[in-house]
Amino acid sequence: MTVLRVAVPVADLLRDPGGARDRQLLMGEAVRLQDERDGWVRAEALRDGYPGWMRRDVLADLPEPNHRVSARATHLYSEPDLKSRERASLSLGSLLEVTGRADAFAETPQGFVPAGHLAPLDTPAADPVAVAERLIGTPYLWGGNSAFGIDCSGLVQIACLACAIACPGDSDEQAAELGHALPEGTPPLRGDLLFWAGHVAWVADAETLIHANARDMAVAYEPLQQALARIEAQGDGCITHHKRLEQTR
């Protein structure tokens, strides 16, 4: 099957052509085409196998990326000059092929990006919580996967992928596949994941969560005990899974 890459900053992966958004893909991420009709393609994201429909015109035959955007967000410039016209804004996690260097800028087929905002793909981040913390204040967006809008499972996935940890897109699959389960009452450590029915949060420290949530409508810190009481009071129950990644530090 044909493999193409996202050629726009953010592309929606939809349940049906023109339908509801389930997830998003970022520039440079690859999809495998399965079907095509009337300007739409049914595709499967190579990062996690997530299926959905996309506009055909957001995809292109781009080169294999070798760098990722490691800053919260950056700009793609027309010239290696911060005063030049920007072509696009790119999110944390976007993938690019760096072909050269021009002063403080990395050259890519799409334009120039500040070199300090990129990291080689073969040098993953070490701490997924530190990656998630770069997105504090990012607006909540159902199905979002970018620094321009993100949901709870998107925040887990973007942080895991930056650390080269394979991660599915939805919280129920994350609860099943990520890390190893801990017995009830285990003290949480930074980097642990706490799951509820339909929600997931990172543990920032023993007393604090970081999650994309509908209360703040943003990525925010929340005291752990406050979150436990609030989520139970609003009818969403207690923690269903406490998971620990091997990379937890």
Residue 246: per-residue pLDDT: 79
Residue 248: pLDDT band by 50, 70, 90 thresholds?
A: very low
pLDDT of 247 over the 70 cut: no
Dihedral class, residue 66 (left if φ above 0, else alpha if ψ from -120 to 50, else beta)? alpha
Domains of the chain: 3-60 (2.30.30.40), 67-120 (2.30.30), 128-244 (3.90.1720.10)
Residue 152: per-residue pLDDT: 98
Residue 110: per-residue pLDDT: 96
Does the pTM exceed 0.85?
yes
- Cα-atom radius of gyration of the chain, to the nearest Å? 18
Across the chain, mean pLDDT equals 96
- Give pLDDT tens digits for 185-210: 999 999 999 999 999 999 999 999 99
- Give pLDDT tens digits for 130-185: 999 999 999 999 999 999 999 999 999 999 999 999 999 999 999 999 999 999 99
- For residues 160 and 204, what is the distance between their CA atoms, to the nearest angstrom? 14
What distances in angstroms separate CA 167 from CA 108, 126, 131, 190, one per listed residue? 27, 15, 15, 18
- Give pLDDT tens digits for 86-115: 999 999 999 999 999 999 999 999 999 999
Residue 1: per-residue pLDDT: 77
Residue 26: pLDDT band by 50, 70, 90 thresholds?
A: very high
Q: How close are the terminal C-alpha atoms of the chain, in Å?
A: 40
What distances in angstroms separate CA 90 from CA 31, 32, 117, 125, one per listed residue? 19, 22, 10, 18
- For residues 187 and 184, what is the distance between their CA atoms, to the nearest angstrom? 9
- Strand, coil or helix: 235: helix
**Angle ∠(91,51,93) on CA atoms, nearest 5:** 15
